[in-house]
Amino acid sequence: MNASALRGLDRFGAILFDLDGVLTPTADLHRYAWKSMFDEVFAEKNVASPYTDDDYFEHLDGKRRYDGVAGILNSRGIRLPLGSPDDPPTADTISGIGNRKNEYFARALDAQGIRPYPGSLTLVTELWERGMPMGVVSSSNNARWVLTSADLIDKFPIIVDGVVAARESLASKPAPDMFLFAAQQMDLSPTDIVVFEDAISGVASARAAHFGLVIGVDRGAGHDVLLEAGADAVIDDLAVYTSAHSEPHN
């Protein structure tokens, strides 16, 4: 990787990536799974206001699964008990509904498989070859599964996902907890770390944690919205930071 391509990255000590929508196109599978599941739940509960893409970006994107479920239900005036993570997908609880969504996601992932975005794979490979410490911060409980399926798991010794967040009692994005925990695991100050995030809540989380550089990745949330959430720059493909490009651009 040439020096100009690393401008803005090479002066930092580590890189943290969100997973879905940044490294892999699994955000599309999550969006499909959420819509399929909530269409089903809203039909069962006779909810007049249908699920929309706005619901995904406002209540779900970047957030832990059960927090997202509660947010959507609350927006429709539905109050359910939290239940237990062991609740079956048929349970009329926040946990049960969240687990039902995961069944949709698992079936879609098994059927389609997953490959990284080409530009993201190139950047991760080049950084890894240079010895840049990297980690993944994802609200998904499926992060390790997805990284394994995408053949990326060996590139990220630090993975802070929904499972870790639940175990460590870390608040969901946009709270800074998950990113701060990752920085702590790397034994680095947040100001010495770059974050790549596509979710509004994730960008807000990294900004609240005072990371040195927060790069928004626009996969549908919107360029201006990501800037307003706290991104220092917004790109649409991580390839702009690879050796194939002379320099990153906003």
SS3 state at 187: coil
The CA distance from 250 to 243, in Å, is 17
Instruction: Give the list of residues 6+ apart from residue 57 with CB closer than 8 angstroms, or none.
Output: 200, 220, 221
Which residues are known catalytic residues? 18, 20
- The 3-state secondary structure of 91-138, one letter per residue: CCCHHHHHHHHHHHHHHHHHHHCCCCCHHHHHHHHHHHHCCCCEEEEC
Q: Count other Cβ atoms within 10 Å, centred on residue 207.
A: 19
The CA dihedral of 51, 52, 57, 62, to the nearest 10 degrees, is 40
